[in-house]
Amino acid sequence: MGSFKPGDPAAVEVLFDQIAPSYDLLNDLLSLGLHRVWKRQAVAWLQPRPGQKLLDLCCGTGDLALVLAPKVRPGGAVLGIDAAGAPLQVAAGRSARQSWLNIQWQQGDALATGLPAASFDGAVMAYGLRNLADPGQGLGELRRLLKPGARAAVLDFNRPDPGRQGAELTASFQRFYLRRLVVPAAERFGARENYAYLEASLERFPTGAAQQHLAEAAGFSRSQHRLLAGGQMGLLELVA
């Protein structure tokens, strides 16, 4: 198991700074490009429209912000926030090649962005919630930033719920995938420990049902956790 401690903000920042250069390539390799399909499902729930102001929390190298930005034209804007500087630099390089898009990138903490309340028409967070020291607090901040009735989509790995049928099979596949495929592949990029962290972060991640409760406690009026990829991924569909 890697030495990166899940939920430790400083360690998480170092981790994502280190893997930023190979992050996009590894993501494509390890998911066979499927992370784009899952991200599209998150966007489909959001239903972005021209003129909207949208937020991509834990934006990393900016995949989702870059998908959303053309959809809010004309008149809209997208803000991408991440705690780590290196992925944001990659994101800024990507958006600079599409200068007609209205995207801003900002380094900040998803748990306390310091942005005004009710300032966004919608938000996404992909593979971010699992990394936060306190996922409930993260959902609270997400809710605070949204206008009433605005939608949010939170995409991440699914932590199989022991009470659900087939959970053990899903969990075994996840272990196999992470230990036998992800970690050895990451090793070739010199990022073994960074990716060994994935399994540890999943172990402390709330199940879908628990995420629904956390979202309701955070003030969302609607919260539905949907399984994707045969239960490997989960999409938390939220209405503020």
CB of 168 to ligand SAM, least distance (A): 26
Q: Across the strands, what pairs with 46?
A: none
Q: Which residue is nearest to ligand SAM (CB)?
A: 60
Q: Are strands 103-107 and 77-82 parallel, antiparallel or unpaired?
A: parallel
**How many residues of this chain interact with ligand SAM, rule: CB under 6 A?**
22
CB of 14 to ligand SAM, least distance (A): 9
Among 30, 46, 58, 146, which residue sits at the site for ligand SAM (rule: CB under 6 A)? 58
- Report the alpha-carbon distance of residue 35 to residue 235 in Å, rounded: 12
- Report the alpha-carbon distance of residue 231 to residue 156 in Å, rounded: 11
CA distances from 100 to 43, 72, 122 (A): 20, 12, 21
Q: How many of the other CB atoms lie within 10 Å of CB of 41?
A: 17
- Report the alpha-carbon distance of residue 67 to residue 44 in Å, rounded: 11
Closest CB to ligand SAM among residues 9, 136? 9
CB of 188 to ligand SAM, least distance (A): 19
Residues 113-142 within binding reach of ligand SAM (CB under 6 A): 126-128, 131-132
- Report the alpha-carbon distance of residue 143 to residue 202 in Å, rounded: 23
CB of 29 to ligand SAM, least distance (A): 14
Among 2, 48, 60, 206, which residue sits at the site for ligand SAM (rule: CB under 6 A)? 60
Among 4, 16, 45, 220, which residue sits at the site for ligand SAM (rule: CB under 6 A)? 16
Helical (H) or strand (E) element with 147: strand 146-157
Closest CB to ligand SAM among residues 22, 167? 22
| Whether residue 74 has a cis bond before it, omega within 30° of 0 | yes
74, with CB counted inside 10 A (0-12, 13-18, 19+), is exposed
Q: Are strands 120-126 and 53-57 parallel, antiparallel or unpaired?
A: parallel
Among 4, 6, 12, 161, which residue sits at the site for ligand SAM (rule: CB under 6 A)? 12
CB of 62 to ligand SAM, least distance (A): 8
Task: Decide if residue 42 touches ligand SAM (CB under 6 A).
Answer: no
φ, ψ for residue 109 (rounded to 5)? Answer: -100, 125
CB of 167 to ligand SAM, least distance (A): 23
Residues 76-115 within binding reach of ligand SAM (CB under 6 A): 81-84, 87, 109-111
Residue numbers at the binding site for ligand SAM (CB under 6 A): 9, 12-13, 16, 58-60, 63-64, 81-84, 87, 109-111, 126-128, 131-132
